[in-house]
Structure 1
Amino acid sequence: MSRTTGKIKIATRVVGVALFLAGTSACTKIDKFHGFAPSNEDLTEVAIGQTTKDDVIARFGPPMSEGALTTNAVYYASSQFVHYGAFAPKEVDRQVVAFRFDSNNVTRDVARYTLQDGKVVALDRRVTEDGINDVSVIGQLLGALGRVDAGAFLGDE
């Protein structure tokens, strides 16, 4: 066996091991956590009819959202996503805790919603219409051919 053949075999093995390690690490599960929702133990510190809105915000921090226009409420939300390799992340857990207050900003109700309780709600749809209406690029080019003036194209006046 010559020296170059031995070096090629070693290099092939190193590349093979590197590809194997890269392939197996690409399939590793990655957990991602977003947001904050108080746990059930944390919620025991909130007394219905006694705890104020300011107390809740001081205890749990700024809320994710406040329902100031329709209801006097604050919302805390957290989500857990699992991501495997090149696949899209999948949401496996969602917790939304809603604190509702009366007109004096005293806690009236506390509710917890999970991923199983929820449904997708489009709050605002901002889409700019392109006006093309499912016409392909080739269809647009062929449609433009009929609008060419032969006299202008050939230079005749």
Structure 2
Amino acid sequence: MLSLAYRLKSVFRIVVLTGAGLALVSCAGQYRNHGYVPSEEDLAEVVLGVDTRDSVAETIGAPSSSGVLDASGYYYIATRLRHYGPSEPKPVSRELVAISFDQAGVVSGVERYGLENGNVIPLQRRVTSTGVQDKTFLRQLMGSLGNIGPGDLLQ
């Protein structure tokens, strides 16, 4: 009887220690990389006043984003996020390379920015409401019963 209690106690300890170990391991930070920023060597190949939009895209690749206006520029963005336990991901580093063009589409400037140059801007998704409420087929069918007049039945 004593040996059974001792065995159960040791099994319980093993289960508790294994659970605690798994809990600690699961809280280790995990990193994810998003986006692409060209290297300094690739950016050195871009010549101010000579290269155009097409030659920049051919030399260093297509941009992550481009400006709303045609003459605004190309933007290459890379972000490294740290996921730690149940908390929300936090940006650890962010790089942005902005290549600006003049009205003729020729490169007029290349700038590099980091997370220390600005603030983290939370992106929000804005969706225009359709005004349609959650109406199932049965609810729509029952709702249309009151819209039928006597003249509609005769036709």
Q: Same fold (TM over 0.5)?
A: yes
1:9 and 1:125, CA in 2 relative to 1: closer, same or farther beyond 3 A? closer
Give the aligned CA root-mean-square deviation in angstroms. Answer: 2.6
User: Larger % of helix: which?
Assistant: 2
The alignment's TM-score, normalised by the length of structure 2, stands at: 0.69
Which is further off, 68-77 or 106-115? 68-77
Letter in 2 for 1:113: Y
Structure 2 partner of 1:66: 66
Q: Can you list the C-alpha shifts for 1:64-95, whole angstroms capped at 9, x where unaligned?
A: 21114263311110111122212222112111
After superposition, where does 1:75-154 map in structure 2 within 5 Å? 75-119=75-119, 126=126
Secondary structure of residue in 1 paired with 2:47:
coil
Q: Distance between the aligned counterparts of 2:15 and 2:81, measured in 1?
A: 33
> CA 1:50–1:70 in structure 2 vs 1: closer, same or farther (change >3 Å)?
closer
2:42, 2:59 within 8 Å by CA — same for their partners in 1?
no
For residues 103-157 of structure 1, give each alpha carbon's deviation from its aligned partner in whole angstroms, at most 9, with x where no partner exists: 332211111121122245688773779xxxxxxxxxxxxxxxxxxxxxxxxxxxx
Q: Secondary structure at 2:93's aligned position in 1?
A: strand
Residue type at the aligned position of 1:103: Q
Partner of 1:34: 34
Please give the alpha-carbon distance, in whole angstroms, between the structure 1 residues aligned to 2:122 and 2:70.
17
Q: How many residues align?
A: 129
SS of structure 1 residue aligned to 2:81: strand
**Unmatched tracts of structure 2, length 5 or more:** 130-155
SS in 1 for 2:116: coil
Amino acid of the structure 2 residue aligned with 1:79 = T
Instruction: Identify the residue that residue 4 of structure 1 maps to in structure 2.
Output: 4
Paired-residue identity, %: 37
Conserved? CA contact 2:71–2:105, under 8 Å: no
Hey, what's the Cα distance between the residues in 2 that align with 1:94 and 1:37? Answer: 10
Task: Give deviations 1:5-59, integer Å, cap 9, x for gaps.
Answer: 2431232122122112112112212111111111223211111112221121122
- Aligned CA distance change for structure 1 residues 120 and 73 (closer, same or farther; 3 Å): same
Q: 2: CA distance between counterparts of 1:36 and 1:79?
A: 8
